Chains A and B, each alone.
Chain A
Amino acid sequence: MKKLLLVLLVLAMSLPVFAAGQQESSSKEGMTKLGVMVQPYFNGVVAMYIRDQGWAEEAGLDIDLQVYSNGSTANEALAAELWDIGFQGAAYVFGVINTDAKLVGNYEETRGDTLFVRPDSDILKVKGFNPTYPEVYGDPETIKDKTVIFAPGTSLHQLLIEYLERIGVGADNVDKVPMDYQTGEQVFATGEGHIIALPTPWSLTVEEKYGWKPIATLSDFVMSTGDLIVSNNAYENKKEAIKTYMGLVYRAAEELEADHNLKAEMLVKWYTENGREGNLEAAKQEAELRILITPEVQKSMEYGKPEAAIADFYAYIGNIEPEQAEMFKKNVVDDLWKEVLAD
């Protein structure tokens, strides 16, 4: 009896092992498989739109949409060769220098990254300390020794350093506390820290929610972009598929930019799909603020300049070596988008 029970127990425990092997997804016949990396933020909306419209299947692409909760896992997955093309912000620098990936085009101009303080902060007393930036608050006296909450390795990090530089405070003279956006918001709401850096959609809601005041935004200082990053392997071997997909990205950008209500609705849909509360009002503001790159914009903008600036920034704060920044700049290539937009 005992033995029988034991055997049964062992069988029951090992059953899932066999069950596990059967859920491999099969690739569709005759279609090129393309792994697409997004995050559950603004940058995923285009990929979702393309998926929902069914354009990829029409174009003969079998898309595997992969959602990563942060840049670290996305970059690790890139090193493990798990995706071919991704929508990414500032953290693309690390993926490029570590895996020889390429930046092939833009999908958005990142706006809305903002530094906030609480309404009673003494920083609000000084405005326009640096005459070049009359709308920016704070001076060395009020900023020194403050605690700043921000997400490292993002454009918010760049915002913070740019800001401190314009105000004339050394990066070591503030207390920098790394935190993801959401936890940052909660912690700041409980009274911790003096300054917080937030991207959209957070930066669009916290003023109303808590009365926090913006003191500077990234677009005050530099331009920052979201880029399409392509793994080295896909760049060498799947060029046609990548170009097809890039065409869809520009097509989606044109449709969504032509109708901001649709863009806002799609944002709400994307956020809800990823477990966040979709707020249509905030989504509308976000849709107005963050601009997707249409073919016209792509052709007219200085491609490669914001990318180079952020690489120099990472080299400056010591995350990467200066020669890696140079190598990165060589990997920002314009051949693909020029070919895609030529027709």
Chain B
Amino acid sequence: MSTQIPKQTEESTETDAEAEPASKGDERRAEKRRRAAERREQRQAEEAEKAAADESTVELKVFRYDPQVEGKQEPRFDTFHVPFTKGMTVLDALMYARDTYDSSLTFRHSCRQAVCGSDAMFVNGGQKLACKTQISDLDEPVRVEPLPHAEVTKDLVVDMEHFYDQMEAVEPYFQTNEYPDGELEEQRQDRENREKIKMSTRCIWCGACMSSCNIAAGDNEYLGPAAINKAYRFAMDEREGEEMKQKRLEIIEQEHGVWRCQTQFSCTEVCPKDIPLTEHIQELKREAVKNNLKFW
């Protein structure tokens, strides 16, 4: 287990330094801590040995980088052997590795059921939602990296700020100036219209599409598939009214809006919620053209 080795040396230097203090209490506490560390280490080593020897383990290769710890600033890959259980996802395996082997392993996750969108990662060469990706579907060793085309903050955590900025840029919220007549009247949407925008409402802001997009990687101002999909969700919503639609089309048909898309289909391939992103972008392109060329 590659992670265990640097840790051991770290621990031993720590105990050397702690041998100096004169106070008896300090000494006792230091001794206690040392023993606890030893026990923990022994347990970890045993677990690791057992896991490595066991047939039914999964080999994880995880990208590691920590700018705050000297010696970890050079990006590297750590190998973890995680006992396989039926139905295990990449996130489960990562959590096992974190809880059992190396508590410094850092990654985002919260709901663990593909709803919150916080654990998009680069698994075996593709942007995947770790909680939705079955280990049994992957080739070993499973290589887990942070999302490409984003700055790595630590281990598997990337800076999502730019992605959120782009999402905000399309004003991703319902707005209208067309209200129904009655005071207590509801703003109803007909079934066809709901069906039309149904897929686009499924976005969970995980950022997988943005990470997979070659154009977004080269052009920082490009709105990106997720933001355009969000714009589609509201531009196509008939309840917003014609005036709002014009406003939304103005945003998406800017230089770095829909026209940057070159239909590589990368976003559609990686989307964990199966949103037909390219289709939506193409439809908005046609809407923009129809809006500007009025021959009919």
Do A and B belong to a common assembly?
no
Residues of A within 8 A of B (CB): none
